[in-house]
Homo-oligomer: A and B are copies of this chain.
Amino acid sequence: MAGGDGIKQMPVEDEILNANQAFYDAFARGDFVAIDALWSRKHPVSVVHPGWGCLHGREAVMDSWRRILEGGRQNSIRCEQPVVYQFDRLAYVLCREVFPEGELIATNILALEEGQWCMVHHQAGPLQRPSSVNDQALH
C-alpha cells in the first residue's frame, strides 16, 4: 500500500464475534443457505437443540436447521451478551438467545478454516432463572 501503511487486521475476537453474529443474523432471516455456509465443511459438526438429543454429522445437523427454519418462529431471535473464549484455531462463544417467548443460553463452538471462523457445534438450552443461582433437581 502506498505510504507504507499496513493493512489493518481485525482483532481475532472481533472475527469470532462477527461469525457468531452472522449465524444469528441468518437465523433471524430464516436463511438456510447462509446457515449452511456458516457451518464447517472440513470438520465434523454436531448440535444440541433445546430438548433434543445430540445430532452428529453434517447431514443430521443441516436437516435440523432446515426443519427449525421452516417452523418460521425464529425471526425475532437476538444474540445478547456474547463472550468469546479462544484457543488457537478453535473458539467458543457463550451468549443469550432472546426470543419473545423467553431466553436460551448457547454455547457456540467455531473452528478457523481457510481464514474463516466456521460453526462446528451449537448447544442451546432454556434460561429459567435469570437472576438467581440455586440448587435444582437436575444439577
Contact = CB atoms under 8 A, between A and B. Distances in A.
Interface of A: 27, 43-44, 46, 48-56, 64, 67-68, 70-71, 73-74, 77, 81, 83, 85, 87-90, 92, 94-97, 99, 101-102, 104-105, 107, 109, 111, 120-121, 123-130, 133-139
A48 B107 contact: yes
Per assembly, the copies of the chain total 2
A121 to B, nearest CB: 7
Contact of A127 (B53, B120, B136): B53
Given A92-B121, A139-B49, A56 B83 contact: yes
A42 to B, nearest CB: 11
A131 to B, nearest CB: 8
23 contacts: A43-B87, A46-B94, A48-B107, A49-B136, A50-B125, A50-B128, A51-B126, A51-B136, A52-B105, A53-B105, A53-B127, A53-B129, A54-B94, A54-B95, A73-B135, A88-B88, A88-B90, A90-B90, A97-B138, A102-B138, A125-B125, A125-B126, A126-B126
A77 B139 contact: yes
Contacts of A53: 96, 105, 127, 129-130
